Each structure stands twice: as C-alpha cells, then as structure tokens.
C-alpha cells in the first residue's frame, strides 16, 4: 500500500484506490470531533459518511446520486450521507473529505457542511432539474384528459389514442375526432402553440382544442403531477408498460417524482374549441396566401388567447371531458 497522504487527516487517492480495488467493504475513521467514519462499498459502488447528527437535514431534494438518512438509538442520533460513486471515486471521496473538514475543523452543522462541500464540488453531484413548470402542467393536462378518456372509451382505446408523447401532430387521435390539449396556469385561457401543423385538422376529421386552466391548490383540495401519474397507472392496469413508455417520452422520470410537490386544481371547467376556418391559427396555407417567402420561416411559436372565443359542444360520446370536476 502506498503510504503518502493528501494531508495529515485524509488518506491519499492511491491508498483509497488500492483498498477499493480489492472489492471488499472497508471503513476509514477520520480523527477529530465529532466522530466521522467513511464507509466504502465497492460492490454497491457507494461511499457513505456516518457522523453524529442534529437537525436540520441537508437539502438534497434536487440532487441525483445522493441521499441522507438518520437513525436514533437512545440519546444518540446518527446521520448517514450516501453518494453513488458512478466512476468518480476521487471526486466523491474529495466531497466527503470536505464535509468531514467542515464538521470537525469549522464546527459547522451537518446541513451547512454538506452545503459548503456541494458548492465546492458541483461537478460531483448532478442537479435534478425535473421538468419546467410549463411542461409539468402540460403533462398534467394531458393525463387529466387521458383519465377521462379511460372512463369514456376504455383503457386500450384511450392509451392507443394518446399520440402527444410520440410527437404526433395532435395529442389524442380517434377515428371521429382529434384533440389538442393545452393547459395554462394563467387567469386567461392563453396557450402556447408550436409549429405550423399543430392546429391543422387531418383531412376531414375534426380537430378540437381542449383548454384547461389550473390554479395552485392544497393537498386536500388538489392533486400533484405525481399523484395523477399514480392514479392513471392504477386505472390502466394491464397497459402500464404502454403508459410508462409514453410518460418517459413526455419527460417523466420516477426518480424525480418528489420534485413535483405542487398541488393543482381546475380553475374552471375544461373548455372545447373547434379548430376550423374561424380559429386564429397560423398555418402554412395561411402563410402562403399572405407572407412573402413564407418558406424561410421556421421554429414558429405563438400564443393564442381563446378566452373570448365561442366554445364547442362536444359529440355526446366525449361530452364528459368538459364536465366540471371539483379537483384535478
């Protein structure tokens, strides 16, 4: 074993490499107060710091590959911080060494020590960004419609109709009607449109825009994206695999489910609008007739406020989509 050390407190990378390469779990106590021990587990590819702990817990909600637990035995509470090595043993070891130094030499609390170390070693732990709020409520809106369609059409028909995650021109496609779902958290029904074909009917099949308005709520009155995902999964039973594929394509990840802790309620009933010749849509046909060199236009995005437009009465089969519901 190589004997040189980084300093008089921590083992060198060479020493750690040699012990890690043996493939067996090992522990390295670090001299000082409070007592800190680094536990290395090559088989699980995890490095864990164990130390006496007092609240608050470190804020790790938006971080990947790292978690914290605490255990109380008698009067002693121990904190355990685990980090996935993920082919970066040196980086994770340096992160842990910095936390230990903050605890023992700077006298910081566990939460502060972790925060300081993470700020210094940003490259070791990846931030969990999750979806933007706009994408979150967009997926929530589509799932709320899917939930209704499962009741209306049956699970198989509803799941097979959901084309939005597959970059389909329209979100839900049936033989007799197509639906484009737009969801907003604003007080007006102002929705973002993308591209030239999103609001173009497919042949003679009518296209309807479904407008959902959400407002922030409470756990008692509303639902979170995570809870709606769970509810829809329960509802589709045997089609769970198909649903999960669509969720993944939409940007959903179970690993990030705890990030979506906002609760939403419907601000108003779902409204339906017929996308016909009177609808204010930007299409290639309209550009051709009024814009010189229209083909040079690309990456089109625009907002449409449908608040003042006349709503559409849906065919009887789909009427339940726009029926009022107390909470999303």
Q: pLDDT, tens digit, for every residue of 120-130? A: 887 677 666 68
116 and 66 within one domain: yes
- For 95-100, the CB contacts below 8 A with 24+ separation are 95/120, 95/121, 95/124, 95/125, 96/38, 96/47, 96/49, 97/6, 97/9, 97/10, 97/30, 99/49, 100/9, 100/10, 100/30, 100/32, 100/36, 100/38, 100/49, 100/51
Determine if the pTM surpasses 0.75.
Answer: no
Assigned domain for 318 exists: yes
Range of the domain at 40: 13-120
Each residue's pLDDT tens digit, 38-57: 999 999 999 999 999 999 99
Q: Last residue of some domain: 72, 98, 120? A: 120
Assigned domain for 212 exists: yes
CA distance 47 to 157: 47
289 and 236 within one domain: yes
8 A C-beta contact, residue 102 and residue 118: no
152 and 48 within one domain: no
188 and 108 within one domain: no
3-class state of residue 147 by DSSP? helix
211 and 159 within one domain: yes
pLDDT at site 289: 93
Q: In this structure, how many other beta carbons lie within 10 angstroms of the beta carbon of residue 65? A: 19
Label residues 88-115 b or e (16+ Cβ within 10 Å = b): bbebbbbbbbbbbbbbbeeebebbbbbb
pLDDT beneath 50, residues of the chain: 1-5, 326
CA distance 101 to 189: 54
Assigned domain for 282 exists: yes
Q: Which of 181, 179, 168 is nearest to 141 (CA)?
A: 181
8 A C-beta contact, residue 199 and residue 193: yes
CA distance 56 to 114: 11
50 and 146 within one domain: no
pLDDT at site 229: 97
Residue count of the chain, please give it. 328
pLDDT at site 311: 97
pLDDT at site 128: 63
Q: How many domains does the chain have?
A: 2
What lies within 8 Å, CB to CB, of 322 at 6+ separation is: 210, 269, 270, 271, 272, 314
């Amino acid at each position: 074993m190589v004997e040189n050390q980084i300093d008089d407190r921590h083992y060198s990378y060479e020493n750690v490499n040699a012990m890690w390469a043996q493939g067996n779990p090992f522990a390295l106590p670090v001299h000082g107060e409070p007592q800190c021990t680094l536990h290395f587990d090559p088989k699980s590819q995890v490095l864990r710091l164990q130390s006496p702990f007092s609240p608050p817990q470190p804020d790790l909600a938006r971080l990947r590959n790292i978690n914290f637990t605490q255990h109380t035995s008698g009067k002693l509470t121990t904190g355990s911080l685990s980090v996935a090595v993920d082919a970066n043993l040196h980086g994770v070891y340096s992160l842990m060494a910095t936390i230990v130094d903050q605890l023992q030499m700077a006298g910081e609390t566990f939460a502060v020590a972790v925060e300081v170390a993470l700020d210094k070693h940003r490259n070791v732990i990846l931030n969990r960004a999750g979806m933007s709020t706009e994408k979150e409520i967009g997926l929530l809106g589509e799932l709320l419609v899917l939930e209704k369609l499962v009741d209306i059409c049956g699970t198989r028909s509803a799941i097979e109709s959901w084309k939005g995650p597959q970059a389909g021109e329209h979100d839900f496609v049936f033989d007799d009607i197509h639906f484009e779902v737009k969801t907003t958290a604003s007080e007006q029904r102002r929705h973002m449109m993308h591209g030239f074909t999103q609001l173009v009917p497919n042949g003679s099949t009518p296209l309807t825009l479904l407008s959902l308005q959400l407002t922030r709520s409470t756990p008692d009155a509303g639902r979170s994206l995570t809870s709606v995902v769970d509810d829809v999964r329960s509802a589709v039973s045997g089609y769970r695999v198909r649903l999960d594929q669509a969720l993944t394509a939409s940007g959903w990840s179970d690993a990030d489910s705890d990030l979506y802790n906002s609760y939403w309620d419907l601000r108003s009933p779902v409204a339906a609008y017929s996308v016909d010749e009177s609808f204010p849509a930007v299409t290639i046909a309209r550009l051709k007739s009024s814009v010189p060199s229209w083909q040079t236009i690309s990456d089109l995005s625009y907002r449409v406020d449908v608040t003042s437009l006349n709503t559409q009465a849906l065919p009887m089969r789909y009427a339940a989509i726009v029926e009022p519901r107390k909470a999303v």
